[in-house]
Amino acid sequence: MSARRFSLLTTLPPTLLAAALLAATAAASAAPAVYEIDPAHTYPSFEADHMGVSVWRGKFNRSQGEIVLDKAAGTGSVNVVIDTASIDYGLDAMNDEARKDTLLDTPKFPQATYTGTLVDFRDGAPTRVKGQLTLHGVTRPVELAITRFKCVPHSLHKRELCGADAHGEFRRDEFGIDAGKDYGFDMNVALRIQVEAARKP
Would you say residue 7 has pLDDT above 50? no
Which percentage of the chain shows pLDDT scores above 90? Answer: 80
**Which amino acid is residue 33, in one-letter code?**
A
Q: Give whichever of 5-9, 26-30, 85-89 has the largest mean pLDDT.
A: 85-89
Q: For residue 149, give the nearest of 16, 10, 45, 35 by alpha carbon.
A: 35
Would you say residue 200 has pLDDT above 50? yes
Mean residue pLDDT of the chain comes to: 88
The pLDDT score that the predictor gives to residue 10 is 45
Would you say residue 58 has pLDDT above 70? yes
CATH entry 2.40.128.110 includes domain 31-199: yes
**Which amino acid is residue 115, in one-letter code?**
T
**Which amino acid is residue 113, in one-letter code?**
T
Instruction: Write down the pTM of the prediction.
Output: 0.82
The three state secondary structure string of the chain is: CCHHHHHHHHCCCHHHHHHHHHHHHHHHHCCCEEEEECHHHCEEEEEEEECCCEEEEEEECCEEEEEEEECCCCEEEEEEEEEHHHEECCCHHHHHHHHCCCCCCCCCCCEEEEEEEEECCECCECCEEEEEEEECCEEEEEEEEEEEEEEEECCCCCCEEEEEEEEEEEEHHHHCCCCCHHHCCCCEEEEEEEEEEEECC
Q: How confident is the model at residue 30 (pLDDT cuts 50, 70, 90)?
A: low
Sequence ranges of the domains in the chain: 1-30, 31-199
The pLDDT score that the predictor gives to residue 21 is 37
* Separation between Cα atoms, residue 103 and residue 117, nearest integer Å: 28
The pLDDT score that the predictor gives to residue 158 is 82
The pLDDT score that the predictor gives to residue 43 is 95
* Separation between Cα atoms, residue 84 and residue 95, nearest integer Å: 10
**Which amino acid is residue 75, in one-letter code?**
T
* Separation between Cα atoms, residue 120 and residue 51, nearest integer Å: 37
Average pLDDT rounded to a whole number, residues 4-24: 43
* Separation between Cα atoms, residue 67 and residue 130, nearest integer Å: 14
